[in-house]
Every structure is written in structure tokens, then in C-alpha cells.
């Protein structure tokens, strides 16, 4: 029974996390960037709907259920299991997703939050301050894009590994 609950939680959470993350990075974020100031109300509505709270919570549940599953299938993280191709694949894929989570959390998210703050104050700034803010904005956009690109590569490795590990 525990296995069934863990697997259901893990697979549904993983689909939501990886699918949502990849879709947002490849399509939603570039569309919002292209929209410029018009993106403000859309991001505010996403915030109101708690997207930026729900996504990390689902990711944490996926990681915790994954770690528990790994504990079970490896017989308590036995070294012998991680010596098999299957064990190694689950470990690398799981590790990649955890790394992707921290990249998104510590690199992309702070840049996104700062960008939203700057966008909200931009109109009230004098020309010199505005020019400086726009420079900061360009740097933050690069930081967010780099972090998100690396995170979705890691998520892709995670999903690919999880998909095939059982048959290795
Ligand atoms: C984006 C993140 C993740 C996604 C999308 C994902 C997806 C999946 C899927 C679809 C399965 C079912 C595979 C099958 O039955 O053949 C699975 C199984 C598994 N996952 Fe993940 N996973 C993720 C993260 C993790 C993490 C962080 C860990 C642990 C460190 C982990 C450990 C496992 C283990 C051990 C299984 C095998 C469970 C079993 O055989 O009953 N996963 N995962």
C-alpha cells in the first residue's frame, strides 16, 4: 500500500513539476518577456493563484517520495544496489532533478522576484536611475535564463533516467 501511494504521488508530482517547469521555461517565460510591461498583470495573477508556492511544494513532495522509494528499492541505500546500472540510473536521474530544483530556487527564482520588483518601480524613476535599473534588469534576465536553461536540462535528464531505469 505504501508503495502504491508513494508511486502515485511521485509520478503525478514529477509530471507536474518537470512538465510545468519545461513548459514555463520554453514557452511561458519567453512570451512574458516579449510582452514587456504588459506581462505585469499576468505574473501578478499567477502569483495570486499561488503558482510560485504550489510548484516548489509539489517538487519537494516528488523528491521526498523519490528518496523514500529509492530507500525501499535499494534495501536501505545499499552500496550493492548503486553498483547496478538500474540503481546508478535512479541515483543520477534523481540527483539531476534535485540539482535542477536548487538551481531554479537559488539562481532563477531570486532573479525573477527582483525583476518583478524593478518592473513595478520603473515608471517612478528619474532617467539616470531608470538607466541603471534597466542595466540591472538585463543582467537579471541573463541570470534567470541561464539558471532555467540549466534546470530544464537537468529535469530532462531526470525524466529520461526515470523512464528507462527499470529496464536497465
Ligand atoms: C523531476 C523529477 C522526477 C520525475 C519526473 C520522476 C519520475 C518518475 C517516474 C515516472 C517513475 C516510474 C518509473 C517506472 O515505474 O518505470 C519514477 C520512479 C522512481 N523514482 Fe523518480 N522522478 C523524479 C525524481 C526522483 C527523485 C528526486 C528520486 C530520488 C532521489 C527518484 C527516485 C525514484 C525511484 C527510486 C523510482 C522507482 C520506484 C519503484 O521502482 O517503485 N525520483 N520516477
Q: How confident is the model at residue 115 (pLDDT cuts 50, 70, 90)?
A: confident
Cα torsion through 151, 152, 154, 158, rounded to 10: 130
pTM: 0.91
Of 60 and 137, the structure prediction assigns the larger pLDDT to: 60
Question: Is residue 37 scored above 80 in pLDDT?
Answer: no
Of 67, 87, 89, 56, residue with least CA distance to 162: 89
pLDDT value for 92: 98
Of 103, 80, 76, 81, residue with least CA distance to 157: 103
CB distance 87 to ligand 1 below 6 Å:
no
- Asked if residues 104 and 148 have their Cβ atoms less than 8 Å apart, the reply is yes
Distance 24 CA to ligand 1 centre (A): 22
Of 92-101, 117-126, 142-151, 155-164, the one with minimum mean pLDDT is: 117-126
pLDDT value for 55: 93
pLDDT value for 2: 93
Mean pLDDT, residues 129-146 taken together: 91
Q: Which residues contact 111 (CB under 8 A, 6 or more apart)?
A: 140, 141, 143, 144, 147
CB 125: neighbour CB atoms within 10 A?
14
CB distance 155 to ligand 1 below 6 Å:
yes
Q: Which of 10, 59, 71, 87 to mutate to test the pocket of ligand 1 (most atoms within 8 A of CB)?
A: 10
Q: Which residues contact 39 (CB under 8 A, 6 or more apart)?
A: 32, 33
Of 98 and 35, the structure prediction assigns the larger pLDDT to: 98
CB distance 10 to ligand 1 below 6 Å:
yes
pLDDT value for 124: 85
pLDDT value for 126: 87
pLDDT value for 65: 98
CB distance 73 to ligand 1 below 6 Å:
yes
Q: Return d(Cα 156, Cα 19) in angstroms, integer.
A: 10
What are the boundaries of each domain within the chain? 2-167
Q: Which of 162, 163, 166 to mutate to test the pocket of ligand 1 (most atoms within 8 A of CB)?
A: 162
Q: Return d(Cα 49, Cα 20) in angstroms, integer.
A: 15
Q: How confident is the model at residue 22 (pLDDT cuts 50, 70, 90)?
A: very high
Phi, psi torsion values for 105, nearest 5 degrees: -70, -40
CB distance 89 to ligand 1 below 6 Å:
no
- Asked if residues 9 and 66 have their Cβ atoms less than 8 Å apart, the reply is no
The residue behind cell 502504491 is 4
pLDDT value for 39: 83
- What atom in ligand 1 is closest to the CA of residue 74? 35
Amino acid at each position: 500500500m505504501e508503495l502504491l501511494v508513494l508511486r502515485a504521488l511521485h509520478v503525478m508530482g514529477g509530471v507536474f513539476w518537470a512538465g510545468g517547469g519545461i513548459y514555463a521555461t520554453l514557452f511561458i517565460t519567453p512570451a512574458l518577456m516579449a510582452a514587456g510591461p504588459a506581462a505585469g498583470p499576468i505574473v501578478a495573477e499567477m502569483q495570486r493563484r499561488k503558482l510560485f508556492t504550489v510548484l516548489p511544494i509539489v517538487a519537494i513532495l516528488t523528491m521526498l517520495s523519490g528518496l523514500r522509494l529509492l530507500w525501499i528499492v535499494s534495501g536501505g541505500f545499499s552500496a550493492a544496489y548503486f553498483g547496478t546500472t538500474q540503481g546508478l540510473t535512479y541515483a543520477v536521474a534523481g540527483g539531476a532533478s534535485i540539482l535542477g530544483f536548487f538551481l531554479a530556487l537559488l539562481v532563477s527564482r531570486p532573479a525573477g522576484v527582483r525583476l518583478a520588483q524593478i518592473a513595478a518601480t520603473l515608471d517612478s524613476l528619474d532617467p539616470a536611475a531608470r538607466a541603471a535599473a534597466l542595466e540591472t534588469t538585463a543582467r537579471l534576465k541573463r541570470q534567470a535564463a541561464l539558471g532555467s536553461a540549466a534546470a530544464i536540462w537537468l529535469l530532462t535528464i531526470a525524466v529520461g533516467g526515470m523512464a528507462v531505469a527499470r529496464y536497465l
